[in-house]
């Protein structure tokens, strides 16, 4: 059974208090519950049970170390680290961890400083702009890759 990390980076603990027009009203706990409700759908689609571990940290060291715990794959929303962290990119490259980069908001429509992603070049792909669905779509894509 694929062992999958679903990791949220800096400030995603504040979901529910961030601008509603961009991030919606749901909290991080709501997001994780939503993913769990959709898990049977994804498992049925890919024909395999999946083991999910949720993680969030505002500490870049914790976030980077978490990636090294032997996951089969990951769904990652690094938050602002997406646009700033060469350390994250270097680690993802070195680990060869299959991952999908996800974003709640449609980053491509936002500020210029968000247009660069250091991590996306190492991802299987990137899904953005679908709110909570970005994560389940990302999970589906990742699980399809891992079980093919």
> Contact letters (x/-) for ligand DQA, 107-136, by CB under 6 A?
x------x----------------------
Nearer to ligand DQA, 43 or 54 (CB): 54
For residue 89, give both structure tokens.
């990119």
Nearer to ligand DQA, 2 or 79 (CB): 79
Nearer to ligand DQA, 85 or 105 (CB): 105
Residues contacting 130, CB < 8 A, separation 6+: 104, 137
Q: Indicate if 103 belongs to the active site.
A: yes
DSSP string, 55-92: EE-S-HHHHHHHTTS--SEEEEEEETHHHH-HHHHHHH
Site for ligand DQA, residues 52 to 111, rule: CB under 6 A:
77, 79-80, 82, 103-105, 107
Choice among 34, 103, 133, 135 that is catalytic: 103
Q: Indicate if 135 belongs to the active site.
A: no
- By CB under 6 A, the count of residues binding ligand DQA is 10
Nearer to ligand DQA, 3 or 11 (CB): 11
Sheet holding 125-128, edge to edge: 51-56, 3-10, 73-79, 99-103, 125-128
For residue 135, CA distances in Å to 28, 36, 44, 61, 113 come to: 12, 11, 17, 23, 23
d(C-alpha 142, C-alpha 127), whole Å: 11
Residues with catalytic annotation?
23, 103
Binding footprint of ligand DQA on the chain (CB under 6 A): 11, 77, 79-80, 82, 103-105, 107, 114
């Amino acid at each position: 059974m694929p062992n999958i990390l679903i990791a949220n980076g800096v400030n995603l603990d504040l979901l529910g208090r961030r601008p509603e027009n961009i991030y919606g009203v749901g909290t991080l706990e709501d997001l994780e519950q939503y993913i769990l409700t959709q898990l049977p759908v994804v498992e049925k689609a890919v024909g395999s049970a999946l083991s999910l571990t949720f993680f969030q940290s505002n500490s870049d060291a914790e976030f980077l170390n978490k990636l090294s715990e032997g996951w089969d794959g990951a769904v990652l929303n690094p938050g602002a680290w997406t646009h700033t962290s060469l350390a994250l990119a270097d680690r993802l490259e070195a680990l060869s961890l299959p991952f999908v980069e996800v974003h709640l908001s449609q980053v491509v429509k936002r500020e210029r400083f968000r247009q660069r992603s250091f991590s996306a070049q190492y991802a299987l792909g990137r899904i953005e702009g679908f709110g909570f669905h970005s994560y389940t779509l990302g999970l589906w894509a990742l699980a399809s890759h891992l079980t093919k």
